[in-house]
Amino acid sequence: MKGRIREIIEYIIDSESVDSADIEGINDELEEMGYSLDEISQAMTILDFGILDDSIESGSQLYTKNRILGEGEKILLTTDAQGYLIKLQTGGWITEAQLNIIIENAGMEYRIPVSINEIKELVMGFAPDVPEEVVDGSDCSTRNLN
């Protein structure tokens, strides 16, 4: 089942037309593709889209800037890896969705606790727009988001 949830997440991330106002449309699309409501709900929860929350407003952002790792996420990662990911996310280099995907894949692909070098490999795979010097950690300064 985790493989199918991963497929849903990858589909949503790869989709060019994803916005928070069209979550129901994505839900319908995924159902037509044969995914169950439970699988879709789990993927949306991982992406933090709030699919189960009726308070989604048009124009709201898909991620927040003040991310704190949960206890389950902290268990998966070394302290260095946790700090590295938070630094990338708060610096604007990766989105909340990318952060969630990287953490979930870390738990599936590597032995726990996942090291910073293993996380860097995942960042290169799931956030290809992040420059190599940022991935390496030599320059994690804030990205110009304007």
Distance of CA 44 to CAs 70, 72, 99, Å?
A: 17, 18, 14
Domain check: are 41 and 76 in the same one?
Answer: no
Nearest residue to 129 via CA among 96, 105, 99, 93: 93
**Total tally of structural domains belonging to the chain:** 2
- Percent of the chain predicted with pLDDT > 70: 73
- pLDDT greater at residue 105 or residue 21: 105
Please check whether residue 102 lies inside any domain of the structure. yes
Q: What is the dihedral of CA 107, 112, 116, 122, to 10 degrees?
A: -20
- Cβ atoms of 75 and 113 within 8 Å: the answer is yes
Please check whether residue 143 lies inside any domain of the structure. no
State the pLDDT confidence band at 59, using cuts at 50, 70 and 90: very low
Domain check: are 41 and 78 in the same one?
Answer: no
- Cβ atoms of 56 and 20 within 8 Å: the answer is yes
**What's the Rg (C-alpha) of the chain?**
15
Please check whether residue 53 lies inside any domain of the structure. no
Q: Residue 36: give the domain boundaries.
A: 2-47
- The CA distance from 35 to 109, in Å, is 23
pTM for the model stands at 0.54
For 18-47, write each residue's pLDDT tens digit: 555 566 778 888 889 999 888 887 777 776
